[in-house]
Structures are given as structure tokens and as C-alpha cells.
Amino acid sequence: MGLLSDPNRRKALTNLLTRLNAPICMVCYLAAIVWFMGLAFEPFTLRTYMSENAMGSTMVEERFSSGERALSLAKEFDAHKRKAGGMPVEWLVKAMQARGLEVFTQSFSRKLPFPDENKERYMVRGTNVYGILRAPRAPRTEALVITAPCSPGNSDNQAVGLLLALAQYFRNQIFWAKDIIFLVNEHDLIGMQAWLEGYHHTNITGVKLKNYLMTQFHNWSIQAALSLELSSDVITSLDLILEGLNGQLPNLDLANLFYAFCQKLGVLCTIQGKLQRNDWDTAEGYTHAAQTMMLMVLKQACGRSWGDHGLFLRYHIEAASIRGINGFRHYKMDVATIGRLLEGMVRKLNNLLERLHQSYFFYLLPSLSRFVSIGYYMPAFGLLAVILLLRALDLWVNLGAPALEAVDGVTEAEQPSGPGVLTVLTPVVISHLTGVALYLLPVHLQEMAVEHFPVSETEAVVLTAVAIYTAGLALPHNTQRLLSGEGTEQGWKVLKLTALLYLAVLLGCTALINFSLGFVLAVTLVPITASMTPHMPKALSALAMVLLSPAFTILYCVFIYQELIEAPVSVGEGWMLFLSVISQGILDHALYGSLVYPLLALFIYPCWLMFWNILFWS
Amino acid sequence: MAAHRCGLSVVCILIFSSLAHPSSCDTLEKANDNTATKRRISEVNTDGSVAGEDMNERQWQSTDVEVNRSDGTKNGETFAPAKDQFQEELVIRPLHSGDIYASFQFRTLWDTDFLQEGQKKVSHYRLFPKSLGQVLSKFSVQELHISFTQGFWRTMQWGQPFIPSPPGAELWVWFHDTVSDVDGNWKELTNVLSGIFCASLNFIDMTNTVQPSASFKPLGLGNATDHRFLRYATLPREIVCTENLTPWKKLLPCGSKAGLAVLMKSEKLFHSSFHSQAVHIRPICQDEQCTSKAWELRQTLNVVFDHYTSGQGKKEWSLFKMFSRTLTEACPLASSSKVYVDITDNPEGELFELSPATPLLSQAVVLGDRRTYSVYDLTRAETFGQLRSFNLLLRWKGDSGDMLRPLLHAERYVAGFGLQTGEIHTVIYNNHPYRAFPVLLMDSVPWYLQLYIHTLTVTSKSRDNKPSYIHYQPAKDRHRPHLLEMLIQLPPHSMTEVTVQFERALLKWTEYTPDPNHGFYVGSSVVSALVPSMVAMSTNFTQDQPLFSSFVPVKEESSYFVRVYTEPLLVNLPTPDFSMPYNVICLTCTVVAVGYGSFYNLLTRTFQVDEPSPPLAKRLANFIRRIRGVPLLA
């Protein structure tokens, strides 16, 4: 700081920074990209290890053997599900009661803001059934949750069958210290949301709970939850899904626990559907790890819950989904093995004395046995954020230079006293109003749109959103001219300074909560926003700006994601996917309170519009 | 009646008993615990004679006789003096859920009243444990109730227990009204009891002790109403295990060597769904005229066995299966020793079958319900049969029907999520079809949940229900907990919800427990009520009574006292990350030091334009010029 308090040296430093600003920014950007890609390189990452003492030292002996019973229960469940045309409530209640559980049901109904075309639902009505295994001699303060969805069609029957078989087996054991809740939820996340809201006696998303039976039996603090998805009698591998709502992740110890038991029982386990490879020193090995990590980043960035577990995380309940995959491999496992795996995990969780808190909550996984902690990945984002700050500093120095001369004694009365607040405020306000329109109008105008155009409600919502987004491009760059006449040189500089700092704060906050989202947005937004001036060739830079706008970022993410999961799509299909991603984003926000859509509509897009405004400053 | 017999012919009985069971008595005495031996030795010492084991035995009896005689001469011949006596019983109730509820009660009577003037020092103990007797006299305890419970009583499945208790440890004590320093006595008493019962009762301090104004009234003699002499505390976290059971068993006159206490094998008792042991001490009348007081010590142990986990799904029960022991004799010191089996739901034997069968039946109104019991008297030889061992067998035949919902039921939970605020909901159910009755709700909440008492609402049937009595004592941070007592009228067949919001306090870093991420416990709230009786409810209760006696329901049977405990709560408080304090301290100190230092520097420094200093030659020339008095160079 002595450096800054000495005017000469300060001047030298600022000179250096302004002179070398562009090269430094370039270097920072490249360094950020290289750093990020380096995270997937195995020698740079840490090996995962179990931090929680209560789960580490004692290996349990798994004895679950009723795989056949699970399968026959699954068949029975399937038959009753078909007969009932949904959740077979009565059968399930009886089945759970016969296994010595206390059984309760919870009915809920929900009207979606607009029809969900992916899952074909609009008015949702359903029932959750859950049975409680009371731990002997426990004062009803803690619980574990195991869930299986009741999905339409043939899927997830085996999960319910296994759930019931596990319940029967667990009921005969005496070592439980925590109550265990076996939950079968209908309508996947909507049912789960209803259950969690009933459980916590809150109403944050407007699910209608029919009865308050729920309130009678929920005073535990839930320590952990496992969600089970299993659709075939034999499986080849198990996939672990961690990404939850708003990019929240469960404690890394939960993933470690899963990995430890997969190792112990010789079960193939994957993350992001990708097996682990041992050849990190070859190009293929590195690419594989990088792809796995990129998939995790993309999934986390989109902020939706990738399994039924995702909603638990909001309530500070560590949760993960385990999905059975039946691929084309020789080595197959039966349901009993998965049962043993779950038994082992639940018994270890049962040993917990405290909530899972020892290990990391912020991490990226290039493979199941390696992780990147927040300390390692944050510099990549930091390097990007520094660019914005450097550019802001440069502008600040530029703006301050003439003022400094004025202090020197050359009294020039005709020197303009800086740009008015109005010049800056107008574009800021107008951009944000456009953002508010983008946030509110699509859902609220759907009826009007359906009346006037031959489209369905979902299409109406998505197309309105796209239309408002595009209309926003035409709007704000003429605004300041209306109010304050000709835009001055200083005017855009002040606006750009404001916009740069605003973007830096926005991205910084986003990255702290959801690193992936912050990083993905920074990678696309930073280069164009950092270099934008009104003096660049209009057509070319406008094209560049549009191509690097938030909407196109989503489009690129869709293509990259499809490429990474080895299901590449054509441009037309990609466009359709892009539209459905937008509708899902809006739905996720309305149904579960996902924050990505409001963040993009209310903050990132207006911020980008401010730069758009600068480009057309005249 | 037993008392009379005992009083009239103590000598004969004692001699008889020592003759009848010489071997058992001997082994009993030899293997008896330390305290018993010490007790005996101290008695011997007071008598001034030291002898061997057999001498001790005789000595003990003879002193007893002497005391008797002196008592007898003092009181005259008009009525026989009541004597120390001991009763034991076991009640087995098959529950509707298929579980088995076993409840032991041991009652020791002690004919002394040391609280009266002049009788402060009592050094003679016979059946009453000396460790407790000394505690009673030293701390001037009027009444003492202590319970240790592992598990939660499931009222909705099991009905009401005979003696309710909250999970963890509960202690409430009425002190005698001559005590001046109640808090001091309380503190010492908890520490002493902590030693006696091997429990962490020493964690009871002023931050979890309350003085309820109405919920806990004395159960024995003396109508003390000044709640200054009452102290109540719970430790919901206390874990009960064998180390608490052993000292509890040692308080019994026969230890665990004879009588019903033989069944108390800890490995079986703790292989159950519910375990609760308690000690209740209170003063009672010695006789009908109540001219003098006696002390009653009740030791109770309640266990619920899970038919499912231990029976492999088969519903068949025997004493041996439950306790891995059978009964072979009553405690020789006991004046009555009985086993009761609740057969109310099984009048014709269609639900379950008991073997051996017993002709003895007994009826009692328990918790407002008329129950029928099969009685097995262990003092009679024929109970044990030819095998000289009593193994009660209970075989289920059919499925038991649905249980009547308990008339009063309460539960509690925390609503909301996050670590800043929350809401405590207490829900009380009145399942009586047409009678309203009032209940007393008592809540003791630790100070670190800061209750917003203005948000307190009581609603029944979605209408505001104004409590007729509210006693609220706000908490003082780090000194005392919140105490909230309310008298609420419960409308018939209704659900009453009491909600109050709270904010979670941020503790000082030394105040966290070693496992802060486990959460912090809030003790059970207590609902006490006089509940209208089922007997009064039934229309055909006249069938076995004369008509003239039954038009107006008998008062004792028309309502009964019930205490219901809710679940304890586990609440998470905002917890710092304790796993890396060193890193955090280093980092924050560095940041503060660097930031503060440089900002302070920037803010306080004054900036001046500095003249560039002239070269050395010029300075030298100027110096010489100054000496010469010549104008300086520019």
C-alpha cells in the first residue's frame, strides 16, 4: 500500500496498467481457460477421501439377500400401478403396513403455469405414500429418507420393489439409531416438492396440500436422503447424480460413501454416465476426464435438479440419486447387490453422530475418485473477473485524467462538469425494465398469444420470451438520445464503467453460489464486454455481441451437452431443444424456485443490454 | 393387611424367613452389592459389635427386634406400629400393535419422619436404601421424582403408559419449606444424584431449570403450593444404558438376586422399543388417621418389547423369551409379589392364550378404563408348579382389533428451514367425542432459541382460543430458560395448535457442544390434564354395580389425571466451521492487519509536493557560501 500512497509510484503503476491493459487482459483470459482445462488433469487434482470419522473406520457387513422378493414386489407393484392408472395407494399402504411400518399418505395438487410438453402434464394431482420405520429406543429426533419414484410406464418399478424389500429387511434389524422414512413419490419432483413442503410446514412454491395428516409425524431433522431409480431386473452399472436445484451439491462425503461401497462390492460406478479411466497420462484419458468435468459444469450451470434428490438440498439435507443403468456389458448385477450397497450406505449414515459437514460442499468431479475443490477452481473464475476490474480501472484513470489537469490550475469554465447522472441512469433503467418484461410477460401473456397466433401455450410462452429478447436489442440504444441529446465521449465511458463493475459483481456473486453458471457466463460475456467501444465497426461488433449474448450461450451449451453425452443433434433439433430448455427453465422457476431464469432475465440480460447500448452510442 | 401381619409378628416372620430360605438369604447377602454391605457394617458399628457374616445376620435381626420393641412401648398397645415393608409387582399388557408392555413396580415403605423436629438424624435403615435416605435428610427433600428414558412412548399405538416420562432424564423435586437456599440445595442434590445413578445429572444448572407454577404439584402428603420450593429440569440428550440400570437395581432390597428383579437382564431390557426407569419418593400417611408420616419409594421400570424384531414375525411370548429368565421365587423380603396380565381385551380367551392359567382375577380402574387382570401370586408355592419355575407363556390366536384413540395426545415439531428463524408448533388432540376439558401446557425452551412471545397463537378448530391462564417467564441469556405455562380449554373432538416463532441465537464459540452439527435439544413440553374417564363414558357401566350407586358417576372414576410428554426437538443453530480454525484465524488476522494498516496509512498521511533535493556539489557550494555570507546559488 506504500506503493499507492506514493503519487509517483502510483502514477507509474497506473501507467503500466493502462498501457499494458489489453495484453494483460488477453493473458488473463487465456490463463483462465488453460487453468480451467487443467483442472481435469489428474496430477493437478486431489484424491477423494472420507472425512467423516463416523463413516470411515467401521465397515459394515451387508446381509441383504432378498433380491428375488424385490423383483416379485416390483411385478406386483407394476400390475397394481397399471390397474390404478397411477399411484396404487391402497396396495402400497397395505404392503408397507405388512412390513411393520407406520404408513401415511399425502395428497397434493398443482396447476402448472403452462403445460409441460416434455412430461405432458398441466393439472397435476397425486399422492405420496411414505412409511416410517421407527428406530427402537430413539427419541424421534433424526431420520434418514430413501425414496423411489412412482413413474408412469415401465420405469422405476424395480426401485419401488427394492424399497419395499429393504424396508422388510431393515425392520428386522435392531441397530437403527435414526428413524428411516421410505417414500414413494408420484409425479417425480412435484411430488417431492409437495412432500418436503408438507414436512417443513412451509409453502414457498404454492403446492396445494390436501390434508394435514402430514403435520402429525414430522419432527425429525433429516440427516440424509437417497433417491433410487431402477428400471431393469439386472444392471451393469450404477450412476451417481449429485447436481441439485440451483447447482447445489451434497456433501462430498456422500459421493465418497457411494464410491467406497461400489469398490467394496465390485459394482461398476459412473458419474455423468462416464466410467473412470486409469490412463490419465494419455490424451484420451485426459479428454475423458475433461468431458466428465465439462458435463458436470454444464449440468450444474443449468440450475435444475437432475434427480429426485435435488430438492432436498435446499433444506440442508444431504441427498443424492442413484440410477441403475442396464448397458451392453457382460458383467451384470442383480437387485440383491444393489440392495446390499444401499444397506451398507444406510447403515453408515445411521452411524452418523452429526450432520454431514466435514467434507467439501463446493467441488467438481472429473471422476469419482478425484475431485477439484473450491480453492482450485476459483482462480479460473478470478482471472476472468480480474479482466473486468482491469478494464474498469483503465476507464477510471481515463475519466480522471482531464479532471486532474483542471486541478492543476488551468481554470477552464467551459469544461463540462462530467456527464449527468441522467445519461447513465436512463439506459440502466430501460435495460432493467426490458429485463422485467422478459421475466413477467411470457407467462402472463400466454393466453393473449394463444388467441392471436396458432400456437400451443408452451410455444406461446417460449416464443414470447424469444420475441421480447430480440425486441430488447432494438430498444435501448436510442434512449439516451431522446433524453439528453447527443451522447458524449465521457457519457459512454461512465456507462461502461458502471456496466463493467455491475457485471463483475453479478458474476462474482453467481460464481460464489454456483461456480459453473458464473464461469460459463463469464467465459462468453467477458471478452465482448471488455473490448466494447462505440468506435468499433458497427456491423461486425454487433454480430459478435449477439453471438456472445446470454441466449446464444444457452444454445451453445445445448450443443456442447449433446456432443458430450454422445448424442449429437442437427441444427434444427438443437433449436427445438433450445426452446424446450427455455420452457423448462421457466417451469423450474415457477415449480421449484430455480433461480437461473430470473437471474438471466432480471440481471444478466439487462447488463448485456447496457453494453449493447454502448455499441450504438453516438 | 400385610403391614399388620408384619407388625404383629415381625420376629416370627423374620426367623421363619431366615429358616425357610437360609441358603438363598446367605448367597443374597454375600453377593449383595457394596452399598448393602456397607449399610450392614455401619449398622453393626453403631451397635458397637463387630463380627463375621453370620454374626452380622443375627445382629441385624436382633437390632430390628429391639427397635420394634421400643416402638411398640412408645406407641402403646392400642394399634400396632406400621413397619418397613416392600412390595413388588409386574404388569404385562399385550398392546394392540402386537408389542408387549411390561411394567415393574417396587414399593418400599419406610416408617420414619426425619423432617420433624428432633428427628433430624436417622441412622437406622432396613429396607430403604441408605444412599437415598441420607440424600433426603441432608437436602430436606419433600418429594423427589427422577426418570431415565430411552426411546419415545408412542401414545397413538400403545395408549397411555402407567407412569409417563419424557425421553432422556427428568428430575423434579419439591424441597421442604424450611429450606432457605433452594438453588444451592438443588445444585448439590443434582450432583449427588448424578453420582448415585451414574448419569449426567450434573449438567442440570440454572440454564435448564425452571419452577413451574402449576404443572407439577406434590403427589404425596403436604399441600405445598409455593412453587419457590419446586425445581424441574430435563436433559433430553441423556442416553440411558446399563450403567444407569445397575445402580437402580442396587436400590432394591433383594438387589437383582431374587424376586422379580431377576428378570432384569440388561441385554434384554435394552433390546426393546422403549425403556424407562424411574424413582419416585414421596411422604405418605402411615395409617388411616395420618398421625405420622412414612416415606414411600417407588421404583418403576417400563419396557416395551417389539414383537417384530425379536419374534421374527411370530407373536408368541413368554417370560423366558422376553427376559431370558424365568421366575423361581419371590423376593423373601417382599410382603407381596405379584404378576398381573391384562386380559381386558381377551375375556373369553379368543385373542390369546395364557399358560399356566390362573383362577385369580383382579379388576381395577386404570387411567379411566376398567381393566381386568389375571393375577399370579409369587408368594404361593403353587404358582411355580412342579418345575419350581414360573414361565408365563402368551400365545396369540387372532389379530387384535383397532385401538381406541387415546383421548389426549400431543406432539410438537419445528416448522420452517434455514438457520435464522423457525416456529415451534405444539399440537394437542382431544379425541373425546363430546366433552371439552382443560389442559395445562408447560414449555421450557432454552435461552438460545429466542422466543417471540408476541407471535404466540392458540387456535382450535381454526378459531382463536384464548388461554385462561398464562404464566410466562422470559429467558435471560446464559442464565435461565423460557418458561411458558398455559391453561387451555380443548373443545371436544378437536385439534389445538399452539405456535410461537423464535430466532436462533449465535452462541459464543466456547458455548458450542463438542458436536455442534448434531443440533441442540429442546426438552419435551408437558401436557397435564384431568381427562374424562372412559368408564364414565360407557353407557353400560351399571351392569355389575347396584343401581343406587351408579346414577351420578363416582367422582374418582369420572376423570383421571394424565400427563403427556411430547417429542423433544433437535434444532440446528448457526454453527461456524470448526474444522479449520487455525486457517481462518490466520487468514482473517492477515486481512485485517494488511487492510487496516494500509487504510490507516492512506487516511492519516498528508501529502506534500516535495522539492527535488539539489545535487551534492551544489549543496556543498551553498554550505560554503552560507558560511561566507554570500547569496546562495539557486
pLDDT digits (tens, 9 = 90+) for B413-465: 888 888 899 999 999 999 888 888 999 999 999 999 999 999 999 999 888 98
| Range in A381-395, A526-540, B202-216 the model is least confident about | A526-540
Of residues A513 and B117, the one with the higher pLDDT is A513
Q: Which residue has the cell 477423494?
A: A48
Residue B70: band (very low, low, confident or very high) from pLDDT cuts 50, 70, 90: very low
How open is the CA angle B212-B217-B219, to the nearest 5 degrees? 145
Tell which of B399, B515, B570, B579 to mutate to test the A interface (max A CBs under 10 Å).
B570
What per-residue confidence (pLDDT) applies to B532? 81
Q: Check: CB of residue A590 under 8 Å from CB of residue A113.
A: yes
> Distance of CA B116 to CAs B113, B120, B126, Å?
6, 7, 20
Q: Which of residues A343, A368, A393 is at a domain's end? A: A368
- Residue B519 sits at the chain A interface (C-beta within 8 Å): yes
> What's at B125, amino acid-wise?
Y
Q: Which residue has the cell 411398640?
A: B72
> What's at B217, amino acid-wise?
K
Angle, helices A421-444/A571-592, rounded to nearest 10 degrees: 90
- Residue contact A171–B519, C-beta within 8 A: no
- Residue B496 sits at the chain A interface (C-beta within 8 Å): no
Distance CA A180, CA A201 (A): 20
Contacts of B306 in chain A (CB under 8 A): 136
Strand order in the sheet with A370-373: A46-47, A370-373, A363-367
Q: What is the mean pLDDT of chain B?
A: 79
- Residue contact A136–B517, C-beta within 8 A: no
- Residue contact A137–B270, C-beta within 8 A: yes
| pLDDT over 60 (residue B29) | no
pLDDT in tens, A211-253: 444 555 566 788 999 999 998 888 899 999 999 999 999 999 9
Residue B71: band (very low, low, confident or very high) from pLDDT cuts 50, 70, 90: very low
Length of chain B measured in residues: 634
| pLDDT over 60 (residue B280) | yes
What per-residue confidence (pLDDT) applies to B56? 37
Structural domain containing residue A189: 53-368
Q: Determine the average pLDDT of the residues in B55-71.
A: 35
Q: Å from A543 to nearest chain B CA?
A: 44
- What domains, with CATH codes, occur in chain B? 84-396 (no CATH), 408-571 (2.60.40.740)
Distance CA B250, CA A10 (A): 83
Q: Which of residues A353, A368, A383 is at a domain's end? A: A368
Contacts of B167 in chain A (CB under 8 A): 139-140
What per-residue confidence (pLDDT) applies to B344? 81
> Distance of CA A124 to CAs A114, A187, A197, A313, Å?
12, 8, 16, 23
Strand B141-150 vs strand B168-175: parallel, antiparallel, or unpaired? antiparallel
Among B395, B430, B392, B426, which residue's Cα sits nearest to residue B412?
B426
- Residue A375 sits at the chain B interface (C-beta within 8 Å): no
Q: Is the pTM of this model over 0.90?
A: no
Q: Which of residues A336, A368, A400 is at a domain's end? A: A368
- Residue B236 sits at the chain A interface (C-beta within 8 Å): yes
Give the one of B423, B567, B598 whose C-beta lies nearest to A219's C-beta.
Answer: B567
Same domain, A172 and A244: yes
Whether A386 maps to a domain, the answer reads no
What per-residue confidence (pLDDT) applies to B137? 87
| pLDDT over 80 (residue A8) | no
What per-residue confidence (pLDDT) applies to B537? 55
Residue A412: band (very low, low, confident or very high) from pLDDT cuts 50, 70, 90: very low
What per-residue confidence (pLDDT) applies to A557? 93
Question: What is the SS3 string spanning A45-112?
Answer: CEECCCCCHHHHCCCCCCCCCCHHHHHHHHHHHHHHHHHHCCCCHHHHHHHHHHCCCEEEEEEEEEEE
Type and span of the H or E element at B175:
strand B168-175
Whether A581 maps to a domain, the answer reads yes
| pLDDT over 80 (residue B349) | no
Distance CA A462, CA A114 (A): 11
Q: B375 - beta bridge partners?
A: B340
| DSSP assignment letter at A484 | H
What per-residue confidence (pLDDT) applies to B41? 37
Same domain, A467 and A595: yes
- The alpha helices in B264-368, defined as continuous H runs, are 266-269, 307-311, 319-323
Same domain, A178 and A58: yes
| pLDDT over 90 (residue A118) | no
Residue B555: band (very low, low, confident or very high) from pLDDT cuts 50, 70, 90: low
Distance CA B402, CA B398 (A): 13
Distance CA B340, CA B394 (A): 13
- Residue contact A315–B167, C-beta within 8 A: no
Whether A22 maps to a domain, the answer reads no
- Residue contact A136–B272, C-beta within 8 A: yes
- Residue contact B417–A315, C-beta within 8 A: yes
* B232-264 core/surface letters (b: 16 or more CB in 10 A; e: else): bbbbbbbbbeeebbebbbbbbbbbbbbbbbbbb
Whether A89 maps to a domain, the answer reads yes
Distance CA A39, CA A255 (A): 19
Give the one of B413, B568, B597 whose C-beta lies nearest to A139's C-beta.
Answer: B568
What's the CA dihedral at B134, B138, B139, B145 to 10 degrees? Answer: 10
Residue A55: band (very low, low, confident or very high) from pLDDT cuts 50, 70, 90: confident
Q: Determine the average pLDDT of the residues in B254-279.
A: 89
| Range in A432-436, B172-176, B386-390 the model is least confident about | B386-390
Distance CA B241, CA B264 (A): 13
Tell me the three state secondary structure of residue A395: helix
Give the one of B236, B572, B601 whose C-beta lies nearest to A139's C-beta.
Answer: B236
What per-residue confidence (pLDDT) applies to B34? 40
Q: B94 - beta bridge partners?
A: B100
Find the closest chain A residue to B416 by CA distance.
A200
Q: Check: CB of residue B563 under 8 Å from CB of residue B528.
A: yes
Same domain, A161 and A265: yes
Residue B3: band (very low, low, confident or very high) from pLDDT cuts 50, 70, 90: very low
| pLDDT over 70 (residue A476) | no
- Residue A4 sits at the chain B interface (C-beta within 8 Å): yes
| pLDDT over 90 (residue A478) | no
- Residue B425 sits at the chain A interface (C-beta within 8 Å): yes
| pLDDT over 60 (residue B44) | no
Whether A390 maps to a domain, the answer reads no
Q: Check: CB of residue B111 under 8 Å from CB of residue B417.
A: no
> Distance of CA A467 to CAs A26, A35, A395, A461, A470, Å?
34, 37, 34, 10, 5
Same domain, A339 and A478: no
Distance CA A439, CA A135 (A): 47
Same domain, A302 and A444: no
- Residue contact A357–B270, C-beta within 8 A: no
Q: Å from A318 to nearest chain B CA?
A: 13
Q: Rg for chain B (alpha carbons), in Å?
A: 34
Of residues B23 and A166, the one with the higher pLDDT is A166
Residues 273-302 of B with CB under 8 A from A: 273-275
pLDDT in tens, A193-211: 888 888 888 777 666 665 4
Query: How many CB atoms neighbour CB A415 within 10 A?
Result: 12
Cell of B613: 533535493
Residues 561-590 of B with CB under 8 A from A: 567-572, 575, 577, 579
Same domain, A459 and A551: yes
Q: Kindly give, in sequence order, each residue whose CB lies less than 8 Å from that of residue A347, ignoring residues fewer than 6 positions away.
A: A60, A62, A175
> What's at B132, amino acid-wise?
L
Q: Which residue has the cell 440445595?
A: B185
Query: How many CB atoms neighbour CB A126 within 10 A?
Result: 21
Q: Which residue has the cell 463483475?
A: A504
Distance CA A522, CA A116 (A): 31
Tell which of B158, B306, B497 to mutate to test the A interface (max A CBs under 10 Å).
B306
- Residue contact B151–A174, C-beta within 8 A: no
Distance CA B345, CA B70 (A): 51
- Residue contact B607–A7, C-beta within 8 A: yes
Distance CA B492, CA B434 (A): 5
Distance CA A381, CA A237 (A): 34
Q: Kindly give, in sequence order, each residue whose CB lies less than 8 Å from that of residue A47, ignoring residues fewer than 6 positions away.
A: A369, A370
| Range in A58-72, A168-182, A235-249, B554-568 the model is least confident about | B554-568
> Distance of CA B44 to CAs A313, B59, B60, B83, B121, Å?
68, 7, 7, 21, 17
- The alpha helices in A364-418, defined as continuous H runs, are 374-407
Find the closest chain A residue to B603 by CA distance.
A5
Q: Is residue B356 reached through a cis peptide bond, with omega within 30 degrees of 0 on the bond before it?
A: yes
Q: Determine the average pLDDT of the residues in A117-142.
A: 86
Q: Kindly give, in sequence order, each residue whose CB lies less than 8 Å from that of residue A391, ignoring residues fewer than 6 positions away.
A: A21, A25, A500, A530
What per-residue confidence (pLDDT) applies to B42? 39
- Residue A454 sits at the chain B interface (C-beta within 8 Å): no
- Residue contact B518–A353, C-beta within 8 A: yes
Q: Kindly give, in sequence order, each residue whose CB lies less than 8 Å from that of residue B574, ignoring residues fewer than 6 positions away.
A: B419, B420, B504, B506
How many domains, in total, are found in chain A?
Answer: 2
| pLDDT over 80 (residue A445) | yes
What per-residue confidence (pLDDT) applies to A427? 82
Whether A383 maps to a domain, the answer reads no
Same domain, A434 and A305: no
Residue A352: which CATH number?
3.40.630.10
| Range in A97-101, A313-317, B23-27 the model is least confident about | B23-27
Same domain, A452 and A342: no
Q: Determine the average pLDDT of the residues in A147-154.
A: 88
> What's at A419, amino acid-wise?
P
Tell me the three state secondary structure of residue A412: coil
Same domain, A194 and A295: yes
> Distance of CA B181 to CAs A254, A363, B218, B475, Å?
53, 58, 20, 22
- Residue B504 sits at the chain A interface (C-beta within 8 Å): no
| Range in B26-35, B173-182, B551-560 the model is least confident about | B26-35
Same domain, A428 and A363: no
| Range in B218-232, B376-390, B599-613 the model is least confident about | B599-613
Distance CA A170, CA A60 (A): 14
Q: Check: CB of residue A183 under 8 Å from CB of residue A195.
A: yes
| Range in A97-101, A506-510, B149-153 the model is least confident about | A97-101
Cell of B617: 556539489
- Residue contact B570–A221, C-beta within 8 A: yes
How open is the CA angle A589-A593-A597, to the nearest 5 degrees? 35
| pLDDT over 90 (residue B394) | no
Distance CA B566, CA B154 (A): 10
> Distance of CA A87 to CAs A217, A303, A323, A499, B466, Å?
22, 29, 21, 52, 43
Tell me the three state secondary structure of residue B522: strand
What per-residue confidence (pLDDT) applies to A137? 83
Q: Check: CB of residue B216 under 8 Å from CB of residue B232.
A: yes
